[in-house]
Amino acid sequence: MATAMLKIKSLQVNYGGIQAVKGIDLEVAQGELVTLIGANGAGKTTTMKAITGLKPYTIGDIEYMGESIKGIPPHLLLKRGLAMVPEGRGIFARMSIIENMQMGAYLRTDTDGIKADVDRMFGFFPRLKERATQYAGTLSGGEQQMLAMARAIISRPKLLLLDEPSMGLSPIMVEKIFEVVRAISAEGMTVLLVEQNARLALQAANRGYVMDSGLVTMSGDAKQMLDDPKVRAAYLGE
């Protein structure tokens, strides 16, 4: 495996007095698309919040680009190239679509590059181009998810975290979101994907981890996991 961009070691995280993450290990190598699957309440989102500095942890460590990031606030992690599209999207409802996209580039100074990336996102998501000057709050849930992803990608992160990008979306929107996930991965962006749609996630990923009740219970090659009887029974409805 290539050099680990993200390395989680024996991580424990408490959430509301409950130990939500119970000592997990997880790695994402540079250029990989890794997925973390599991049932609701397994601890996946808590893990993502710990990585991005939104949830403090006391036991274990998280290394990013070879350095511990314990205690570093989210805005400084973003400056280091670690971006997340959170569950719930977090778009700026009273700003236009184009303004939301430009917010993704606020740490960048390469005007031509920003314009090129905005145009590229409009190529991925033609619906956003059609509505470029509309308030983001007027968009459907699927369109808001597209916008949140576009904004994060425009920041040109070294590591992109996606937390449940298909949640609540129509099948056609889900396919569009995964088309973009596969495209940015193919271009070399490193991605950690938390996703309830285990089949699509494992089909897109290089490697997968299964999380259950705060523990990693299985990990391995994503395609092999797709064929694993236990995974198929528990997460693929077979």
pLDDT tens per residue, range 81-110:
999 998 877 899 999 999 999 999 988 999
Question: In this structure, is residue 83 part of a structural domain?
Answer: yes
Q: Which residue has the tokens 């090129």?
A: 116
Residue 214 is predicted with a pLDDT of 97
For 110, the token pair is 């390469």
Residue 23 lies in a domain: no
Tell me how far CA of residue 54 lies from CA of 3, 49, 78, 133, 233, in angstroms. Answer: 25, 5, 12, 31, 33
Alpha-carbon distance 102 to 210, whole Å?
35
With respect to residue 164, please indicate whether it lies within any of the assigned structural domains: yes
Domain assignment of residue 202, yes or no? yes
- Asked if residue 11 belongs to a domain, the reply is no
61 occurs within a structural domain:
no
**What is the domain count for the chain?**
1
Evaluate whether residue 196 is within a structural domain. yes
CATH code at position 135 = 3.40.50.300
Instruction: Look at residue 20 and tell me if it is in a domain.
Output: no
Q: Are strands 207-212 and 33-37 parallel, antiparallel or unpaired?
A: parallel
User: Range of 152's domain?
Assistant: 35-41+72-235
Check the CA dihedral 129-130-132-138 and report its sign. Answer: negative
Report the alpha-carbon angle 139-145-146, nearest 5.
85
Q: What is the pLDDT of residues 171-222, one digit of tens each?
A: 998 999 999 999 999 999 999 999 989 999 999 999 999 999 999 999 999 9
